[in-house]
Amino acid sequence: MAFSLSNTILRGVTGAYILNSGIGKLGLPEEAATGLQQMASQGIPQVESLSPKQFGWLVSLGEIAVGSALLLPLVPTRVAGLGLGAFSAGMLSMYFRNSEMTQADGIRPSHAGTPLSKDLWLAAIALALVVRGAGSKKVKAKEVAKD
pLDDT higher at 147 or 30: 30
Distance separating the N- and C-terminal Cα atoms of the chain? 16
The pLDDT value recorded for residue 147 is 52
The string of DSSP letters for 78-121 reads HHHHHHHHHHHHHHHHHHHT-GGGB-TTSSSB-TTTHHHHTHHH
Q: How confident is the model at residue 49 (pLDDT cuts 50, 70, 90)?
A: very high
Tell me what percent of the residues of the chain surpass a pLDDT of 90: 67
pLDDT higher at 43 or 126: 126
The pLDDT value recorded for residue 135 is 63
* Strand partners of residue 109: 102
Most confident of 1-10, 31-40, 43-52, 60-69: 60-69
pLDDT higher at 47 or 117: 47
Q: Per-residue pLDDT for 54 more than 60?
A: yes
59-105: pLDDT as tens digits:
999 999 999 999 999 999 999 999 999 999 998 998 898 888 899 99
Q: Per-residue pLDDT for 16 more than 60?
A: yes
